[in-house]
Structure 1
Amino acid sequence: MQKLLVVLPRVPWPLEKGDKLRAYHQLHFLSHHFEIYLVALSEGKPHPQALTQLKPFCKEIHIIPTSLARRFWGMLKALFAGWPLQAGYFYHSRAYREIRKILSFHNPSFAYFQLARTGPYARGLSIPSIIDFQDTFSAGIQRRIEKAPFWVKPFLYFEYLRLKQYEAALLDAFTEATLISLPDRDLFPHPNRNRIHIIPNGVDFEFFTPNPSAIKEEWVLFTGNMNYPPNVDAACFLAKEIMPQVWKVRPSVKLILAGATPHPSVKALENGKTIVTGWVNDMREYYNRAAIFVAPMRMGTGLQNKLLEAMAMLLPCVTSPLANQSLGAAEGREILIGTTAHEFALHIIHLFNDNKFAQQLASNGSIFVKNNYSWEKATHRLADIIRQTAQ
C-alpha cells in the first residue's frame, strides 16, 4: 500500500467546521487505498476523542498544538513573507519539521495538503503533491468586504489581495489541485483554472437518516458554525428580516439557530420566538423535529454541507441563488430559492400551508443529494488522481 502524507490546518474532530468534516471523511475513505501519515495543527489541546476517532484511518498521527501567541507570531511572519495572514496564523515551525521527518523516514509517495493556509508547509517538497483549495477563498473574502464594518474593510482588502496572489502561486507550485464546486473554479484567480479537479463533498447517509417516528414542530431551522461570518450574516438576515414577515402570518413558528460558538450578534437574536442553541451534540435531533430548513446565504463561497445534511434528512429546504450555485438542485422541484427577505418569507409560509408540496419537495431533494453527493464516490475519484500522479 502506498504511503500518503496528509497535512491539515485543524484536527478533524469534532466535526463542527466544514473543512474538518471534509478532512474526516476523506481520511476515512483514503485509508482504504493508502497508508496515511497525518500532521494536523490544533488550537490548544485537541479534543479528548480526537485520537480515538482518527487512529483507525492513520498509520501515524502528529498533532501540533499552537498557542495564541504562536499564531500571532505566525501572522507577523506572513506580513514579511508575502503570505496571506491566514497562512501565517496556521504556520508552526514544529509542524514543518515533523513533515520533513516523515518525508525523510517514511518516504511517502504523495502529499495531500488541505487549504491554501497550509501552503507554506510545502516549501521544498520533492514528491508529487495535491492541494485541496476547497473554495476560492479570495472570492469569499471579496464578498465579505461589502458588508464588513468600515474599520475591518482595509484588513479584508489586504487579505483578499494577498490571498488572490497566493492561490494563483500555489496552483503553479502543486502537481494537482482540487475544489469542491465548478462555480468556485470559475472564480479562481488563474488562467489555467480548468486544470483544477472538482471533488465535491458528500453526506454520511447512514448517520443522517430521518427518524420516521419523530414528532415535527413548527420550527424553521438554520445550522452551522455560528461564529463564521457568512453564517452570522445569514442568521441575522433570517431573524431580523425574513421571520418577522412569517410571524405576521404564523405567529406560533419558532426559529432555531443551531451550531457551535455563536457570535454575540447571534446570541442577541434570542427571544421568545428565536432559540440559539450553541454547541449541539447530535444535530439529527433538530433535523428530525424541524419542519423547514432555511439557508439564506449572502456571503462566502462553496458547497453548504448544512444543505446536504438537511436534504438527506428529508427536510424541505429554502436557500439563496449563491448557495445553490454550488449545490445545483432544481429550483421548485428539489429546493426553493429566495433572494429578498420577502421571497424567503413567502416560500416558508407556502411550505407551512401546503404539506403535500413540502413533502414532495423534501423527497425530491433527498433523492437528488443521494444521487449526487457521496463521500465514498468523491474520495474514490481523489484516490485515483493521487495514484495516477504518484506513478
Structure 2
Amino acid sequence: MMGDILFLAHRIPYPPDRGDKIRSFNILKKLCDLATVHLATFADDDADMAHAEALRPMLGSLHVEKRTVSKAVGGIRAMLSGKPISLTLFDSSEIRDFVSRTLATESIDTVFVFSGQMAQFVPDLPPGIRFVMDFADVDSAKFASYAQSSQVPMRYVHAREARKLAAFETETARRADASLFVSEAEAALFRREAGLGAERVRALENGIDCAFFDPGAEIPAIERPDGPLVVFTGQMDYRPNVEAAASFADDALPIIRLQNPHVTFAIVGRNPTGEVERLGSRDGVIVTGGVADIRSWLAAADVVVAPLRIARGIQNKVLEAMAMARPVIASRPAFEGIDATPGRDLLVADTPGEEAQLVLELLSNSPMGEVMGQAARKRMLKRYVWDETLAPLAALTGRERTTYRKLKLVETSG
C-alpha cells in the first residue's frame, strides 16, 4: 500500500496567478490525484493567507504561515550564519516542527519540495522515503547574472548569494533521489555545475491551461487605447520583469513610435514598482497594475512582447500569449527552454533594436501575425498540456499504477 506525500512550497500554491504558483499548483493538484498530500507553505501577505482554506479540502493536512522576516533581518542572519539569504528569509521553526510531526505521525513515503529555499526543512530521511526536489530554475545562476549587471555594493551581495546558493543547491541535489528543473536547458546547466548525471537531474516542464487561455472563450473586453497595442505581462515587482519593461520602454518603444506614433505599450501586472509606475507617465505607455483577467489584455494585444534580459527556465507569460493565439516577440533569454519554432510559432529578437523592427513588421502585416498566432496555439495544444508534462510525477513518486482520486478543489486560473 502506498503512503502519503509531504509537499513543501515556498509560496502558497493558490490561486495559480503567477509563474511559480502556476507550476506549484499544478504539481500539487497532480500529486493529490496520486495520494493524500500534507502541505507546509508560506504566505506572502494576508491575502495569501485567506487563500489557504481553498486548498484545505484537497489535503490531508495543511500548515501555512505568513512570512515575516524582512530582507534586512534575513541579510544579517545570513552574514552571521554563513548561509544564503534565500534560506534565512524563509527559515521557520514552526515549519520544521510540522515536518517533524508529519513524518512521525503520517505514513509518508515521498517528500516533494518545491523551490530550493524549502530544502532546508528536509531532515535526514530513513530508507524507503523518497526525496524529490523541484528547483524549477537554477537560482544561483540568476544571482550570478544579477551580480554581473549590478553596481557596488549589490554586486558583492549577489555574488555571495550565487556562491552560497550554488553550494546549497549541489548539496541538496546529492541528497535527493531526483532533482527537477523546468527545462532541459536548466537541467543541463545544473548537471554541469553539480557534477550529477541525467539519472539524478532531469527536466519536468511546465504546461499551459489551454482551455482557460483560449481565444474562443468568453473574455471580458478592455477599453482599448487608440492605435496598435503592444502588451507585456508579468509580476511587476520581480526584478527581471522590471528591467524588461524599462528596457523596452527606453530602447525599443522610441524606435517604434518614430515610425508609428500611435502605438501604445501596456505593462500589465500586479505590484508595479515605483520605477515601473514612472514609465506610465511617458507618452505611449500604460501601467495597469493588477487586472481582473489577464486574458482580456492578451486578447486585445496586436503584439505581445517578452523583452527579458535575464530569464531562467520557461516563461509562462510566453506560453499564455501563445495559447491565446497572439503573435509573440521574445528575447533570446525569454525563448530559451520553449519547444517552438522561431519564425513559425513566434519571433525571437537578440536586441531591443530587433524587437522594435519585428514589432513594426507585425503591425504592418496583420495577416502574418494572425497566421503566427494560430501556429502558436496549435503548438501549445500539441506540446504543453499539463497532463502530459506532469505525467512523470507518477513514476518519480513510485505510483505508476495508482488509481487516480477525484479532487475536491475546483481550479481557477489567473
Fold match, TM over 0.5? yes
Distance 1:62 1:135, change over 3 A: same
Q: Is the 8 A contact 2:180 2:187 kept in 1?
A: no
Q: Structure 2, unaligned stretches of length 5 or more?
A: 403-414
2 CA distance for matches of 1:15 and 1:226? 16
1:72-96 CA-to-partner distances (Å, cap 9, x unmatched) read 5555444444432101111101111
Deviation, 1:269, is: 0.5
1 CA distance for matches of 2:103 and 2:81? 24
**Higher deviation after alignment, 125-134 or 49-58:** 49-58
Residue 6 of structure 1 corresponds to 7
1:101-151 CA-to-partner distances (Å, cap 9, x unmatched) read 111111211110011111110123332111101011111111122222332
| 1:370 equivalent in alignment to 2:371 | no
Deviation, 1:388, is: 5.9
Residue 175 of structure 1 corresponds to 177
Residue 405 of structure 2 corresponds to none
**Higher deviation after alignment, 96-105 or 143-152:** 143-152
Deviation, 1:20, is: 1.3
Q: Is the 8 A contact 2:242 2:276 kept in 1?
A: yes
Residue 231 of structure 1 corresponds to 241
Candidates 293, 303, 313, aligned match of 2:304: 293
Deviation, 1:320, is: 1.4
2 CA distance for matches of 1:90 and 1:272? 41
2 CA distance for matches of 1:281 and 1:125? 43
1 CA distance for matches of 2:197 and 2:310? 22
| 1:190 equivalent in alignment to 2:201 | no
Residue 101 of structure 1 corresponds to 101
> What are the equivalent positions in structure 2 for 1:1-391 lying under 5 Å apart?
2-47=3-48, 49-68=50-69, 73=73, 75-126=75-126, 127-188=129-190, 189-194=193-198, 195-211=200-216, 218-270=228-280, 271-387=282-398
Q: Is the 8 A contact 2:34 2:399 kept in 1?
A: no
Question: Partner of 2:356: helix, strand, or coil?
Answer: helix
1 CA distance for matches of 2:346 and 2:147? 29
2 CA distance for matches of 1:210 and 1:319? 20
Deviation, 1:179, is: 0.4
1 CA distance for matches of 2:72 and 2:275? 25
1:204-233 CA-to-partner distances (Å, cap 9, x unmatched) read 112111147868762100001111111111
**Higher deviation after alignment, 369-378 or 380-389:** 380-389
Q: Indicate the percent of aligned positions where both proteins have the same amino acid.
A: 26
Q: How many residues align?
A: 390
Q: Structure 1, unaligned stretches of length 5 or more?
A: none
**Higher deviation after alignment, 96-105 or 38-47:** 38-47
2 CA distance for matches of 1:343 and 1:191? 37
1:335-378 CA-to-partner distances (Å, cap 9, x unmatched) read 10111121111110111111111111111111112211122222
Q: Is the 8 A contact 1:75 1:87 kept in 2?
A: no
Q: Is the 8 A contact 1:211 1:288 kept in 2?
A: no
Question: Partner of 2:397: helix, strand, or coil?
Answer: helix
RMSD between superposed Cα atoms in Å: 2.2
Q: Is the 8 A contact 1:110 1:386 kept in 2?
A: yes
Question: Partner of 1:24: helix, strand, or coil?
Answer: helix
Distance 1:297 1:257, change over 3 A: same
**Higher deviation after alignment, 140-149 or 299-308:** 140-149
2 CA distance for matches of 1:197 and 1:89? 27
Question: Partner of 1:12: helix, strand, or coil?
Answer: coil
**Amino acid in the other structure paired with 2:132:** I
Distance 1:94 1:212, change over 3 A: closer
Distance 1:286 1:202, change over 3 A: same
1 CA distance for matches of 2:356 and 2:285? 16
Deviation, 1:292, is: 0.7
1:290-338 CA-to-partner distances (Å, cap 9, x unmatched) read 1110001111311000000000001100011222121132111111011
**Amino acid in the other structure paired with 2:97:** R
**Amino acid in the other structure paired with 1:249:** Q
Deviation, 1:51, is: 2.6
1:148-181 CA-to-partner distances (Å, cap 9, x unmatched) read 2332101000001101111111110111110000
**Higher deviation after alignment, 375-384 or 154-163:** 375-384
Question: Partner of 1:31: helix, strand, or coil?
Answer: helix
TM-score scaled by structure 1?
0.94
Distance 1:382 1:83, change over 3 A: farther
Distance 1:28 1:259, change over 3 A: same
Question: Partner of 2:215: helix, strand, or coil?
Answer: coil
